[in-house]
A and B are shown apart, each in its own frame.
Chain A
Amino acid sequence: MRLPVRLPQFGESAAEATVVAWLAQPGATVTAEQEIVEVQTEKALMTVAAPVAGSLAEHAAEPGTILAVGDVLAWIEAVETPETPRTLGRPPRPAAQAPNKAGQPAGAGGASGGVPSDVHAIGTAPQASLSLDTHRRSSGSRLIRSAGENRKSTGTGRLAERASLRAAAGDAGFVSPRVWSVLQEHGLKVSDLATVPGTGAGGRITARDVEHYVSQGEAMSPVRQAVANAMSRSWSRPLATVARPVRCDALLTHRRTVEGRPSLTIYGMRALALALAKGSPFACRLNGARLLKPSTIDLAVAVEFNDGVLTPVVRRVEQLSLAELTAVVEEVIAKARTGRIADAGDAVASVSNYGVFHITWATPIPLPGQGLILGLGAVRSAPDWNPATKSWDRCREAEVTLTFDHRIADGGAAGRLLHDIVDLLENPEKM
């Protein structure tokens, strides 16, 4: 049996040695442990002994050659013995280690500090079979499993256990701190993630999943963002809506007699202000658990602007005539449209005329800090039962809605307020 004589590891850090002189020639009979060659390490002149008895078949390196630890020095044709050569647990090194030739970078990553080229000059040590290169020869999945098998008390196997347990429990709701941070940053809630596909263990939504989710689509403009925030804050209250139709024929005639030809919005604002001024509990702002009753009825009017809605405030509406109100509102809206909002807060209610969009019925949301919003729907022809003639007349009608913060007052008060508003709208000479 032909056996190799390999260069031993002489000293803890020795990597190589130079062949100095052969002490046995090819063809010579050697005994086990006979010294057959002299080599020079960094530290000392050492001799290598034959591992078995036999005849020296061949030198593998001539004097002057530098060999790495583990390289073959010579071949011995061994005398058959039951004993196997002693190598003390070191497996033969895999043949032809192609990567990591000195001086050739093995694919540096884009490192900011620069991957030093010396990293790649380091060779695989003559270590046991758990070296990376051995794994490379197996399939990729072997890489994980065998490492897991061999790892005992470093506690890292538990991570996989935890993840798989979670999957078994069907709990994809685990939110990591980083996912939470991303949600906060984008103003999202966990419930917003209901449709986000999770790629983590057990279907967990990872930070990467959320980041991908929020990066899709276009960013909202600042105006849109502001409206979104206001709507979020507004929606957090208990809101309810009451509605009634209002006959608009009288109003439509009346407006032709007023300077400026006030729109339905103006009539709505005036009616709302007068109705509130009669002592409605809605003529106040909710301040925690306290009700703040202002001295004047200030109303906000919703104005579409770019991709959002502005809500400038008009002061003392209950004291302004329809003509005055028309003029003031026009001015306020013009200012708002140029980005100059004089009064942006403190109103007690708002008016939203979505009827201009042909919407007949809607439940607009009261603005943050306000308890009430009056919604005006589109005017359209409707049948009107005439009890005197017992026939259907045609009239012009619109739905008006009152959406209110139910913490301030209840449906009765809302209904009474709406009744007063409608009464004023159907009898415009009272305004």
Chain B
Amino acid sequence: MRLQRQEPAERLVKYLEAIRLALGELLEHDPRVFLYGQDIAGTFGGAFKATKGLAERFPTRVLNAPISEDAITGIAIGAAQEGLVPIIEFQFADFASIAFNQLVNHAATMHWRTGQTCPMVARLPVGGTPGGGPFHSQMVEGWLTHHPGLVVVAPSTVADAYFLLKDAATCTDPVVFCEHKYLYYHLAADFDPRRAEHLPMGRAAIRRSGTDCTVVSWSGMVHEALKAAEVLAGEHEIECEVIDLRCLRPLDADTILESVARTGRLVVATESWPFGGVTAEILAVVASEAFQHLDAPPQRLAALDTPIPFHPALFAAHHPDAARIAALVLETVSF
């Protein structure tokens, strides 16, 4: 697909550029903010170029870290205790497992145990791309949402990549910011921060209204859900209500429950694995709190229960796509 190049004034903004814009504004307007991560400084500007140009503008506040995800996170926690707002970058979300302890046992518990807040942001490139393989493709919200005290967000749009990052940096709790790496350069929009809609962090967005089935998703999968909704509307006259969670923890259960009360049906789709995780949480909440509104068993669609494959054909079969979402919605509506 060719992304059209337009005149600078009307140029589309890519998802990654929105992140870089937010980081730049944060560095400029909030002296407490600094960036710490591997390869983010100098002219290199990060593995995905998220910080390109920022080190030149703010040389003392965009710092390269060694391959020490535990220390990177621990350092952020310590700096937050000194009143700074560290924004750390993991090169791939898959490496956040090394920082697991500092995230879930130190940052997440800090406020509850001690009354001291831990305002920090951990940026993670999540999600799969063809050929990425098991360690460069993971979605990690399944195990990070489990622990109380972390905020976990996952923007699916260019606007949210900007707004949620800015909100994360002003939140007094530690925020895990899941950026979908495929969307970095494959998603662009006509984005103007002054005009775009800014929903509060913690609130889910209804990306498409509908009456026949509620489809919940987040991150890259939202786009697959919307594609599925288009096909279902055009070919089957089924109107899906597509919800983009935006924030996984805390979970906006109210928006989901209100939608299911309208539609009576639920399909949750994720690129993550099925066991436990956010899809299971949503189904549990809906089954227990919206039982009387359900006209069909609630369903979820997740990746196959194996590590993420390397070969593009295996990779494509491994996770849900618009076709499979549409098929499951069709089944649910036909129940």
A-side residues, CB < 8 A to B, are 9, 12-16, 42-43, 66-68, 71, 88-90, 97, 100-103, 106-119, 121-132, 135-136, 140, 143-144, 146-148, 150-156, 159-160, 163, 176-181, 200-201, 204, 206-208
Contacts and interface: CB of A to CB of B under 8 A. Distances in A.
11 contacts: A68-B3, A90-B312, A102-B1, A109-B209, A111-B206, A111-B208, A125-B182, A130-B316, A150-B317, A154-B300, A159-B297
A177 B293 contact: yes
B112 interface: no
Given A112-B206, A118-B157, A122-B186, A148 B223 contact: no
Contacts of B197: 113-114
B231 A102 contact: no
A73 to B, nearest CB: 14
A111 B181 contact: no
A99 to B, nearest CB: 9
A170 B46 CA distance: 62
Contacts of A122: 183, 186-187, 223
A111 B209 contact: yes
B285 to A, nearest CB: 15
The 6 closest A-B pairs by CB, nearest first: A123-B1, A118-B189, A128-B316, A147-B327, A109-B208, A15-B185
Contact of B187 (A121, A146, A178, A206): A121
Given A66-B2, A159-B331, A16 B185 contact: yes
B321 interface: yes
Contacts of B1: 15, 68, 97, 100, 102, 123-124
Secondary structure call for the B interface: mixed
Nearest to B49: A42
Interface of B: 1-6, 12, 15-16, 47-49, 125, 129-132, 136, 157-159, 181-191, 197, 199, 205-210, 222-223, 226-231, 233-236, 239, 242, 244, 264, 274, 291-297, 299-302, 304-305, 311-313, 315-317, 320-324, 326-328, 330-332, 334-335
Contacts of B199: 113
B323 A135 contact: yes
B187 A118 contact: yes
Contact of B184 (A13, A113, A119, A125): A13
Secondary structure call for the A interface: loop
Given A13-B182, A144-B327, 15 more contacts: A13-B125, A89-B313, A100-B1, A101-B4, A118-B191, A127-B312, A130-B317, A147-B327, A150-B317, A154-B274, A156-B299, A156-B301, A156-B328, A176-B296, A177-B292
A12 B230 contact: no
A117 B317 contact: no
A334 B296 CA distance: 53
Contacts of B223: 119, 122
Contact of A125 (B181, B186, B327, B331): B186
B327 A143 contact: yes
Contacts of B321: 127, 130-132
Contacts of A127: 130, 312, 315-316, 321
Nearest to A116: B157
A124 B327 CA distance: 19
A13 B129 contact: yes
A140 B235 contact: yes
B296 A154 contact: no
Contact of A144 (B16, B205, B239, B330): B330
B185 A130 contact: no
A113 B125 CA distance: 25
B317 A200 contact: no
Contacts of A124: 1
Contacts of A123: 1, 186
B206 A113 contact: yes
Contact of A132 (B12, B48, B131, B228): B228
